[in-house]
Structure 1
Amino acid sequence: MKRLATGVPGLDVVLGGGLEPGSVTVLAGAPGTGKTILAQQMCFANATLEHRSVYYTTLSEPHSKLVRHLDPFDFFAPESLGPQVEYLHLGDLIRDDRPGRMGPLVDEVARKTMDEHPVLVVIDSAKALRDFTGERELRMAFYDLTSRLAHTDAALLLLGEYTPSEMAAGVEFSLADTIIHLAYEPREPIDRRWLRVVKMRGTHHLEGKHTFRISPIGFEVFPRIETLDTGPAQEVSGRIPSGIPGLDDLMGGGIGAGEATVILGPSGVGKTIGGLRFVAEGIAQNERCLYVTFQDTADQLVKMAATFGWDLGAALEKEHLVVHHVPLGELDLDLLAARIREQLAGGPVHRVVIDSLAEMVFASRESDRFPAYARSLTGIIRAAGATLLITSETTTLGPSPEPIGGVTFLFHNVILLRYIEMNSFTGRALNIVKMRNSDHSKDVCCFTIGADGLTVRNPLESVTGVLGWSALRTPTVTS
């Protein structure tokens, strides 16, 4: 089926390829959700000298104000105004009190569309027409308009500040081929904008809420990864070295290629150092690596690694290493997934480190969603043939609970780091909690952080309670 690409990054993925020529789409949402920007971006993206875009206004903002607000956006091309993107006002056709006033409006839009063959026709705001006529006349007008434009190749967009109850009962929505609901969701630390395709005839669209952002490049949509087909994981085999002395021996030769590993541990125990060592080892093996961080910047990570003799700065310059720093105040799960997908699509990535899981859970605000999100993110990374190492925070004192989000089951390997108290001395302990389909050491080993980074040493003997509980002991029998 022929589709009209919207020209909006990510939106065509959600729509299953774009809009169908001759179709009717309603963009519905509260004031300030981005309907007008989205519609105008689509106009400028599709208009040509042969097939222009026509933007009709009813009683919305003056044209001069609409155009002035487009100045900050990259998609805005002032030279296209008139020859390619035409703004027209319909208000004069509906201001008087004569009955049947919708007829001239429908005739004008239909005539221009039939005569000039535009690629896109927008009416902003379609809901405002309700203020000038009754429900019966409006229903007939919309039916007449959509029927006549269905025989053209122009896609019709109807914009309006519709409430959920109006979306459920309005004639516009029963006649529409596609309904896109835009919303603005206040929350801390950052608000969220999302859209949902409520209805789309004849197309397999992506369901659910999809984050979008309005930035200088315009409207960007970030499809939620749970709805994307990641495809099968690439066939990779063998084991890869972690770079951490002593750890590979405990794991039977190293981490399985293409597997997902989580390192659990309290703050300061050495999780980030372990992640940096994993990346440094990959670079030494001539592998391209991606490090996703929510706290430390790229410069901070380079300096931290340099204290252990690992030169990550040179790898950054050669693009053997990509550090994607996301400040916690800007973290959005769908945006993060999109950026990771871009890096994976940009060339072979062998190792991925995400530091850490706790920030991602905090950013999600959707506890019911997070397990499915984490599964999909892991699947995308594995589908690219990369090996994933992710860190996760636990409590400093007492037993180590399940990580926030309860997603340990998603990982092939689980490594637990702990502080331990031995004869008034605070040390560190490591043990392999889980390795799927692989034998591994069951020992609890001490480890140290020195000039070379994290080093796993000898097993601890005659120590119990390291995992947060004490084993039952057989009482000593006395005669």
Structure 2
Amino acid sequence: MIEKFSTGVEGLDQLTDGGFLRGSAYIVQGPPGAGKTILANQFCYAHVAGGGRALYMTLLAESSSRMLAYVSQMGFFEGSALPDAMQYVSGYGVLEREGLPGLLKLVQHELKRHRATAMVLDGTFVAQSVASEQEFRAFIHTLQGVAGMAGAVLVMLTHQNRDASCPEHTMVDGWIELSDETTGFRAYRTIQVRKHRGAAILPGKHRFRITGNGIAVFPRAESTMDAAVLPSAQAHRSSIGHRDIDGLLQGGLPGGSATLLVGPTGSGKTTLGMHFLSLSSAQEPGLMLGFYETPAHIRMKARSVGLDLDTPTEAGTLDIQWLPPAENIVDEIIRDVVSHAKARKVKRVFIDGLVAIRDSLVITRRMPYVINALSMQLAALGATVLYTSEIPELQLDEIQLPSDELSAMVDNVLLLSTGRRAHAFRRYLSVIKLRDSNFDPCTQEFHINGNGIAFGPDPRVGPAGDAS
């Protein structure tokens, strides 16, 4: 079996089925500023940290000292690796004087001298510019053979937007493309493994970002799903934290299920979620992810309706997280939620605001699939999940569930609706579906008082007649 070397990026290792194959050659292609140099350096320093030796050869006029000035600011940089395990060499002068034959001799000499098991050739397009197409193909072919004989991974960087049918792409073992893309006023970065011999890659485009610690890649959540994370059926019920609502649900939510709380603003979705979280304990740790209210405000809001989130939070059995609804990467959110739930053995998860997740997606039609992937991964950990989703305020008999198939991707749907009857604002709760279970189909009027949710009309406004 051919040995694999980590790319130095956890998410890229997932896309490439474990990393780069020893003795293989790869092209990393992307426009200037896309992150190619950072990715290549990150790979080299990770390789050195794992006991390998790396050689970085640049064909650009930029000096190694200038590159180091930038790279040294990255979190992956390790100055002690220089110049023994990690070495920078310029091939620009040799290429200018002696052409491709001279450059090939330099590569062979430096690989042998440095005993490198990983090599980066930065500026491959420069080599192409000094030779004919046939000479360049021969150069790539020979270079690949040199790396193979040395048992080294060869990574070639180019900013040329070459077509998939170009000869060099058919000759190398792998091809990775970085892109800067825009949709409207929004800019984002994607990475795609276009080719990787001998590996089961995750195809298609995936988001990535450049941080102070280097490149972080986030595989599409739905593309990482496999049978290994499929949950097993759970027979127990998970209380929603309210006796009367548990009664409608025939004892509570099915354990390990995903529930959508859908309704207009002010219908009580967050309050119902806080009921659910109030039962967080050492046996059933809880996690809340909100987008519009800070943890301090959520705790204050819970106190105002008689719900105690302070005790489990201070005991460490409930974690309330806040993520402002900016241009987040949804796959990163899913990764972090699942990692947190796994580390803390979380059994109760409340995600307040699917609209914020939807609006962060570049392609919004992914929404049902990413939520299904999140629910499945959390269910595999034994967690029961509640989501909230907004719909417009309509009369009770006019309300329609979301048409984006989201309701079909969850196990249970609870509709919280509002209306103005008898000159008063009123709230109603209906169970729309419950996984493999019977439930009470009757719509219940409720109000919110100093003890949270209470069934029946608000005594301050009186009855409004039949709400069904």
TM-score if structure 1 supplies the norm length?
A: 0.91
Distance in 2 separating the partners of 1:352 and 1:9: 26
Map Cα deviations across residues 115-140 of structure 1 (whole Å, 9 max, x no partner). Answer: 43212100111112122111111111
Query: Offset of 1:185 from its aligned partner?
Result: 2.1
Distance in 2 separating the partners of 1:281 and 1:188: 44
Contact 1:361 1:404 in 2 (8 A): no
Residue identity in the other structure for 2:63: P
The one of 97, 110, 113 equivalent to 2:111 is 113
Counterpart of 1:331 in structure 2 is: 328
Residue identity in the other structure for 2:221: I
Match of 1:353, SS? strand
Distance in 2 separating the partners of 1:282 and 1:424: 38
Counterpart of 1:216 in structure 2 is: 212
Match of 1:10, SS? helix
Structure-2 change in CA distance of 1:369 and 1:158 (3 Å):
same
Counterparts of residues 447-462 of structure 1 (less than 5 Å): 447-457=446-456
Counterpart of 1:374 in structure 2 is: 371
Counterparts of residues 57-456 of structure 1 (less than 5 Å): 57-96=58-97, 101-163=99-161, 166-187=162-183, 191-228=187-224, 229=226, 231-283=229-281, 286-398=283-395, 399-403=398-402, 405-456=404-455
Distance in 2 separating the partners of 1:48 and 1:207: 29
Query: Offset of 1:315 from its aligned partner?
Result: 2.8
Query: Offset of 1:188 from its aligned partner?
Result: 6.6
Which deviates more, 455-464 or 270-279?
Answer: 455-464
Structure-2 change in CA distance of 1:404 and 1:217 (3 Å):
farther
Structure-2 change in CA distance of 1:72 and 1:14 (3 Å):
same
Structure-2 change in CA distance of 1:150 and 1:124 (3 Å):
same
Distance in 1 separating the partners of 2:101 and 2:311: 69
Contact 2:394 2:419 in 1 (8 A): no
Distance in 2 separating the partners of 1:49 and 1:329: 36
Query: Offset of 1:404 from its aligned partner?
Result: 6.3
Distance in 2 separating the partners of 1:361 and 1:149: 45
Map Cα deviations across residues 1-42 of structure 1 (whole Å, 9 max, x no partner). Answer: 321112223221111111111111111111111110000011
Residue identity in the other structure for 2:138: M
Counterpart of 2:48 in structure 1 is: 47
Distance in 1 separating the partners of 2:206 and 2:40: 17
Map Cα deviations across residues 42-87 of structure 1 (whole Å, 9 max, x no partner). Answer: 1111126974211001025321221111233111122222112111
Structure-2 change in CA distance of 1:432 and 1:43 (3 Å):
same
Distance in 2 separating the partners of 1:355 and 1:345: 20
Structure-2 change in CA distance of 1:395 and 1:175 (3 Å):
same
Distance in 1 separating the partners of 2:61 and 2:346: 49
Query: Offset of 1:190 from its aligned partner?
Result: 5.4
Distance in 1 separating the partners of 2:313 and 2:193: 40
Which deviates more, 36-45 or 219-228?
Answer: 219-228
Map Cα deviations across residues 142-191 of structure 1 (whole Å, 9 max, x no partner). Answer: 1111112112221000001121xx13233321111111111122347753
Map Cα deviations across residues 262-315 of structure 1 (whole Å, 9 max, x no partner). Answer: 1111011111111111111233x7411111111112222122122234343443
Residue identity in the other structure for 1:328: P
Contact 2:254 2:435 in 1 (8 A): no
Residue identity in the other structure for 1:128: V
Is 1:17 the counterpart of 2:18? The answer is yes
Query: Offset of 1:370 from its aligned partner?
Result: 2.1
Match of 1:416, SS? strand
Contact 1:416 1:433 in 2 (8 A): yes
Distance in 2 separating the partners of 1:369 and 1:451: 40
Distance in 1 separating the partners of 2:169 and 2:313: 51
Distance in 1 separating the partners of 2:454 and 2:180: 48
Residue identity in the other structure for 2:158: G
Residue identity in the other structure for 1:415: L
Q: How many residues align?
A: 459
TM-score if structure 2 supplies the norm length?
A: 0.93
Distance in 1 separating the partners of 2:41 and 2:111: 18
Match of 1:32, SS? coil
Structure-2 change in CA distance of 1:416 and 1:50 (3 Å):
closer
Distance in 2 separating the partners of 1:437 and 1:235: 11
For the aligned residue pairs, the C-alpha RMSD in angstroms reads 2.2
Counterpart of 1:473 in structure 2 is: none
